[in-house]
Amino acid sequence: MSELLLFKDIDEPGLASREVYERRGGYESLKRALRMPREEVLQNLLDSGLRGRGGAGFAMGKKASFLPKGTMDKYLVCNADESEPGTFKDRELMQKSPHMLVEGMIIAAYAADANRSFIYIRGEYQQQAEILERAIEEARSAGYLGERILGSDHSLSLVLHRGAGAYICGEETGLLDSLEGKRGNPRLKPPFPANQGLYQGPTLINNVETLATVPHIIRLGGQEYAKLGTETSTGTKLVSVSGNVQRPGNYEIELGIPAREIIFGLAGGPERGRDVKFWFPGGSSSPVLTPAELDLPYDFDSMAKAGSMLGSGAIIVVDDSQSVVDVALTLAKFYRHESCGKCTPCREGTNWTVKMLQRVESGEATPMDLDIIASVQEQIMGNCLCVLGDAMAMPVASMVSKFRDEFEAHIETRRAQLGLGEPTEPTPLEAVGVGS
């Protein structure tokens, strides 16, 4: 296994303070970066091949290069909303090494020529917000933030902004509206934030882990960093493993190692006597994979090729003692709750899906309802301003198609238990609960 970058010294007592962070080499990358021209810093980010760690996996250097040149206010926004079920890596970083994020932000802002920055942290992370606030204050008093940082021509302000509980505010344009003091409804794209983002100005938005990796890229050099991982998934990645494993938690891995090594080698696999039934490779929004896919390399492209995605790097393991119907219903309820309601397919589709899964759960459904569930998922995908609806549709569709037998068996067992007798085929409209 490769050396640790993000997790090196992470449990060092006091690492959250500037003093200990600097003793461990902290802010050296910032000094190095500020001695380079902006273009060279940006080139390092491009060379590194670093892909966004927030979900979509877009190349970070490329996104930074999209910001227009000019003297207008430009913004860097750190996405610390971390609400994707199963994901808890940003929390660990912010709580234990807040200065790493602050340092990464200052360097990224320099590369993108941004002069104002914000961290949008989910409201529930109260303790982490306090730790970050202290770190920002320390960085400010050391001259790392403010006007003409360390005598360079780079100036940057940094404001920590607490949200108040809404998954959709992790979606980048929903986040921007929320940061502007509104309800967090996503915006129509284009224009993309790089052109018209926060306060209508050019805005670079990146995830916490993406930005915290930046100091390491400067320290190693972009090309050296790119040697880690695979050709198209460079570097190391924090993986949050949870669910039915013996050692749930965050692990730093080199991208491209077999998923089995993460789930079994690091996280210990399911309890003795239990087997993996299925697993989400990238948060609850990713289509589920089966044990047959455990030996795939864990990287962006391999997960995509398997019909799923690496997403935020959150692996949720479900063992064979669990009911797939129950997991699907829990998941659908979450997305129904979090849909902002702006687009009809998502607002209505998540609601119908929950209702239909409840019918499956209670035994009132027929196998035909499973087809309707699958078709509703198709109606949602690709039809909304953002992909929150897709984020339910993809995993639900994958569960229904991969575990159809179990869904059917569940319906039958429930019917028998309740003494409901043979199902009468409902008309499609009844099946989806119209009018109820």
Partner 1 sequence: MSVARYDHGSRIPGWDDAVDLSKDPASIPDPALTPVPAELRQQIEAAMARYPDFRSAAIPALHAAQELHGWCSPEAIEQVACVMRLTPAYLTAVVGFYDMFESKPVGRNTVYVCTNISCSLRGARELHAAVQQAAGDDPDFNVRAFECLGACDIAPMASVNGAYVGPLELSDAERIVEQLRAGEDVLPEKQLLRRKVADPRASTDAPALFDDEDRA
Ligand X SMILES: Cc1cc2nc3c(=O)[nH]c(=O)nc-3n(C[C@H](O)[C@H](O)[C@H](O)COP(=O)(O)O)c2cc1C
> Given candidates 26, 49, 61, 170, which one binds ligand X under the rule CB under 6 A?
170
Residue 165 sits in the site that holds partner 1 (CB under 8 A) = yes
Residue 264 sits in the site that holds partner 1 (CB under 8 A) = no
- Mark residue 181 as left, alpha or beta (left: phi above 0; alpha: psi -120 to 50; beta: remaining): left
> Given candidates 67, 107, 318, 391, which one binds ligand X under the rule CB under 6 A?
391
The binder of 7, among partner 1, ligand X, none, by C-beta within 5 to 8 A per type, is partner 1
Sheet of strand 203-207, all strands in order from the earlier edge strand to the far edge: 157-162, 116-121, 75-80, 203-207
CA distances to 39, 111, 116, 264, 413 from 108, rounded to whole Å, are 11, 5, 12, 36, 56
Q: Which is nearer to ligand X, 256 or 311 (CB)?
A: 311
The binder of 311, among ligand X, partner 1, none, by C-beta within 5 to 8 A per type, is none
Q: DSSP for 340-361?
A: -S-SHHHHHHHHHHHHHHHHHH
> Given candidates 214, 309, 343, 387, which one binds ligand X under the rule CB under 6 A?
387
Stretch binding ligand X (CB under 6 A), from 81-89, 156-164, 187-195, 253-261: 81-89
Q: Which is nearer to partner 1, 123 or 363 (CB)?
A: 123
Alpha carbons 125 and 122: distance in angstroms, whole number: 6
Residue 182 sits in the site that holds partner 1 (CB under 8 A) = yes
Sheet of strand 314-319, all strands in order from the earlier edge strand to the far edge: 249-254, 236-243, 314-319, 276-280
Residue 261 sits in the site that holds partner 1 (CB under 8 A) = no
Q: Which pair of structure tokens corresponds to residue 135?
A: 């770190």
Residue 342 sits in the site that holds ligand X (CB under 6 A) = no
Q: Counting beta carbons within 10 angstroms of the beta carbon of residue 4, is it exposed (0 to 12), middle (13 to 18) or buried (19 or more)?
A: middle
276-280 and 157-162 as β-strands: parallel, antiparallel, unpaired?
A: unpaired
Alpha carbons 236 and 255: distance in angstroms, whole number: 6
Residue 398 sits in the site that holds partner 1 (CB under 8 A) = no
> Given candidates 82, 103, 293, 299, which one binds ligand X under the rule CB under 6 A?
82
Alpha carbons 15 and 278: distance in angstroms, whole number: 37
Site for partner 1 in 224-243 (CB under 8 A): 240-243
Residue 66 sits in the site that holds partner 1 (CB under 8 A) = no
Residue 83 sits in the site that holds ligand X (CB under 6 A) = yes
Q: Could you tell me the maximum CA-CA distance found in the chain, to the nearest angstrom?
A: 80
* Count of residues touching partner 1 (by CB under 8 A): 83
Stretch binding partner 1 (CB under 8 A), from 43-51, 137-145, 192-200, 421-429: 192-200
Site for ligand X in 40-59 (CB under 6 A): 52-56, 58
The binder of 322, among ligand X, partner 1, none, by C-beta within 5 to 8 A per type, is partner 1
Rounded to 10 deg, the angle between the 404-418 and 344-362 helix axes is 50
> Given candidates 115, 207, 234, 250, which one binds ligand X under the rule CB under 6 A?
207
Nearest approach in angstroms of CB 408 to ligand X is 31
Cβ-contact 131, 98 below 8 angstroms: yes
Nearest approach in angstroms of CB 279 to partner 1 is 11
Cβ-contact 276, 18 below 8 angstroms: no
> Given candidates 48, 178, 206, 302, which one binds partner 1 under the rule CB under 8 A?
178
Residue 206 sits in the site that holds ligand X (CB under 6 A) = yes
> Given candidates 17, 43, 65, 95, which one binds partner 1 under the rule CB under 8 A?
95
Alpha carbons 406 and 24: distance in angstroms, whole number: 53
Q: Which residues are at the interface with ligand X (CB under 6 A)?
A: 52-56, 58, 60, 79, 81-84, 168, 170-172, 205-207, 210, 386-388, 391
